[in-house]
DNA sequence: TAATTAATGTGAATAATCCCACAGATGAAT
DNA sequence: ATTCATCTGTGGGATTATTCACATTAATTA
């Protein structure tokens, strides 16, 4: 299934994260030696929870989910994100074992980077370390807010937030294909598959969204935002 | 109310965090110049959400809560922790504004450290940066797990987890005074004051805990753990 | 194409939790 | 000691969301 791209020359790669701009050619070489680019199909797992950390993964393009199997052995989606971004970073520094999984929700290009180079740069390039710390800090704060919002709002508002997130951030369009199943949508907003169905049905009935299978059309974003704010 | 301690000489301070051990005398001086130690009484706010970040705060001793006012203007407790630890760190690197508040739940000694020295060390001492990154990484991963656990378990299990956390981690004793009110307990485990009352009542009725106001006695830790695991 | 599996929709019954109203207890301040 | 504010306990109806059982519709594979 997976396709491996030979001769991965990071220097010439046009896809960049903010952290990368700080590096000079020599440092790029340190980071990228032994890196391998792999293409994943939709649904394929990029990082598996419970495995040993061996790599930092740079997602060049594609939509991915961070998810973990919780104490009740139910899967929960922590975040849905799109490249370019690094994933698996906290696991490398905190544990020897990946705390959560990363799975492709669309076809995805990802570079597996040996973490020794990454760690070396952290210790020897203060700006690189500083950028990483900024990224981690933002990640913590965003997740604090996300989690509080999820527990304080009721389902309809959290569902509205998810739709706005897809529309405004992930796809930047009012029309898109939901990149997850109803089951996954439940795992994302913290409810059951059936409740997702009902929410979609209710929103469609009120002409807030148009629905055709996975295809969503945001018809009334103002009401969506109102529902989000009302909690 | 607050007492300011003069002549704060960090070098001689016996309270240390793992990050501090890395520093030599000169670096300690960089970190600690202009630092001020302040004593807070139970209930006093140490960091206020929405204010500008000016300091990293080192909590030398005492129990504190990290909490934030969510989108519904309801307070929620993110974490309950005890010194020694640093607080306010992600805010300093992510924003100019504190994302959440920190409030003393017991009498607390805290050092306010100008963040410029802290940032300087991050950029000029690779080990210090690396330690900070480890700390932040652990913080993210723990909060992921905490949040997933809270959303997947039902109330009784989350309540049991909180009791175990107080008993095993915060107080390291089977007998302790809950450091928060029933309202705050609700804000911590994500429920209402009344539900907390009922949970306490139910657990006491089943001789799992003994209760007298804020005083808690863990009578049957095994059942508590069973409830926690059952979800 | 048929066969099979995965994904989705639906309604009713059930359960969990919230919310409201009021009563009592505690603690701080004057 | 008295007052006032905060904190806590209690019951029950209202609300929200879950669960179950089954029907229906894609999607995939033999």
Q: B97, B127, B146 — which closes off a domain?
A: B146
pLDDT tens-digit series, residues B58-86: 999 999 999 999 999 999 999 999 999 99
Characterize A23-53 residue by residue with b for buried, 16 or more Cβ atoms within 10 angstroms of its Cβ, and e for exposed. Answer: beeebbebbbeebebbbbeeeeebbebeeeb
Contact A39, A3 (CB under 8 A): yes
- DSSP summary character for residue B34: T
Let me know whether A199 and A163 are in one domain. Answer: yes
Let me know whether B166 and B142 are in one domain. Answer: no
- Cβ of B194 less than 7 A from strand D: yes
The CA angle B108-B19-B178, to the nearest 5 degrees, is 30
- What is d(CA B109, CA B4) in angstroms, rounded to the nearest whole number? 10
Contact A123, B129 (CB under 8 A): yes
**Higher per-residue confidence, B231 vs B131:** B131
Let me know whether B46 and B111 are in one domain. Answer: yes
CA B69 to C1' C8, whole Å? 38
Looking at residue A17, its pLDDT comes to 84
Looking at residue A34, its pLDDT comes to 83
Let me know whether A111 and A169 are in one domain. Answer: no
Let me know whether A20 and A127 are in one domain. Answer: yes
- DSSP summary character for residue A56: E
Let me know whether B122 and B158 are in one domain. Answer: no
Residue for token pair 């148009």: A210
CATH code of the domain covering residue A161: 1.10.10.10
**Higher per-residue confidence, A16 vs B49:** B49
Low pLDDT (below 70) residues in chain A: 1-9
Contact A136, A23 (CB under 8 A): no
Let me know whether A48 and A106 are in one domain. Answer: yes
Contact residues for strand C with beta carbon within 7 Å? A 181-183, 193-194, 196-198, 200-201, 211, 213-214; B 154-156, 190-192, 194-195, 213
Kind of pairing, strands B36-40 and B108-114? antiparallel
Interchain proximity A71–B148, CB inside 8 Å:
yes
**Mean of the pLDDT values across residues B215-219?**
96
Let me know whether A171 and A221 are in one domain. Answer: yes
Q: Find out whether the peptide bond into A84 is cis, omega within 30 degrees of 0.
A: yes
Contact A40, A62 (CB under 8 A): yes
Give chain C positions with protein CB within 7 A: 7-12, 16-21, 26-27
What residues of B are in contact with residue A124 (Cβ under 8 Å)? 126
pTM: predicted TM-score of the whole model, two decimal places: 0.95
Looking at residue B192, its pLDDT comes to 96
pLDDT tens-digit series, residues B90-117: 999 998 999 999 999 999 999 999 999 9
Taking residue B177's Cβ as centre, other Cβ atoms within 10 Å add up to 13
CA distance A202 to chain B (A): 23
Question: Does pLDDT of B4 surpass 90?
Answer: no
- What is d(CA A228, CA B199) in angstroms, rounded to the nearest whole number? 31
Let me know whether A9 and A89 are in one domain. Answer: yes
Domain count, chain A: 2
CA distance A6 to chain B (A): 32
Q: B87, B120, B146 — which closes off a domain?
A: B146
Let me know whether B210 and B169 are in one domain. Answer: yes
Interface residues 104-133 of A with strand D (CB < 7 Å): none
- CA distances to A156, A175, A195, A204 from A198, rounded to whole Å, are 10, 20, 5, 10
Q: Dihedral angle at the C-alpha atoms of B166, B171, B172, B173, nearest 10 degrees?
A: -90
What residues of B are in contact with residue A99 (Cβ under 8 Å)? 141, 144-145
Let me know whether B202 and B226 are in one domain. Answer: yes
Phi, psi dihedrals of residue B117, rounded to the nearest 5°? -65, -40
- Cβ of A191 less than 7 A from strand D: yes
pLDDT tens-digit series, residues A70-92: 999 999 999 999 999 999 999 99
Beta bridge partners of A216: A176, A211
Contact A223, A184 (CB under 8 A): no
Q: A150, A177, A202 — which closes off a domain?
A: A150
Let me know whether B209 and B110 are in one domain. Answer: no
Rg (alpha carbons) of chain B, rounded to whole number:
19
Compare all CA atoms of chain B with the CA of A99 and give the residue at the minimum distance. Answer: B141
**Higher per-residue confidence, B10 vs A186:** A186
Looking at residue B21, its pLDDT comes to 84
Task: Classify residue A193 by burial, with Cβ atoms within 10 Å: 0-12, 13-18, 19+.
Answer: middle
Looking at residue B213, its pLDDT comes to 92
Interchain proximity B143–A148, CB inside 8 Å:
no
CA distance B231 to chain A (A): 7
Nearest by CB to residue A137, choosing from B94, B123, B148, is B94
Contact B42, B63 (CB under 8 A): no
CATH code of the domain covering residue A113: 2.60.120.10
Q: Which domain holds residue B176?
A: 153-230
Question: Does pLDDT of B171 surpass 80?
Answer: yes
């Amino acid at each position: 299934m997976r396709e491996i791209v030979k001769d991965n020359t990071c220097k010439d790669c046009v896809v960049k994260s903010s952290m990368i701009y700080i590096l000079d050619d020599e440092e790029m070489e340190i980071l990228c030696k032994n890196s391998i680019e792999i293409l994943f199909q939709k649904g394929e797992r990029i990082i598996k929870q419970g495995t040993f950390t061996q790599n930092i993964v740079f997602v060049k393009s594609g939509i991915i989910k961070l998810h973990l199997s919780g104490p009740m052995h139910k899967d929960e989606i922590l975040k849905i994100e799109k490249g370019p971004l690094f994933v698996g970073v906290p696991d490398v520094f905190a544990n020897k074992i990946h705390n959560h999984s990363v799975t492709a929700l669309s076809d995805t290009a990802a570079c597996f980077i040996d973490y020794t180079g990454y760690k070396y740069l952290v210790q020897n390039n203060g700006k690189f370390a500083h950028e990483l710390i900024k990224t981690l800090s933002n990640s913590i704060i965003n997740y604090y807010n996300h989690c509080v919002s999820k527990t304080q709002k009721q389902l309809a508002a959290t569902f509205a937030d998810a739709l706005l997130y897809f529309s405004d951030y992930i796809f930047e369009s009012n029309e898109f294909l939901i990149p997850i199943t109803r089951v996954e949508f439940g795992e994302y907003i913290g409810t059951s598959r059936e409740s997702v169905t009902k929410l979609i049905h209710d929103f469609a009935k009120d002409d807030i969204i148009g629905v055709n299978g996975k295809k969503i059309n945001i018809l009334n974003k103002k009401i969506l935002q109102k529902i989000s704010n009302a909690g």
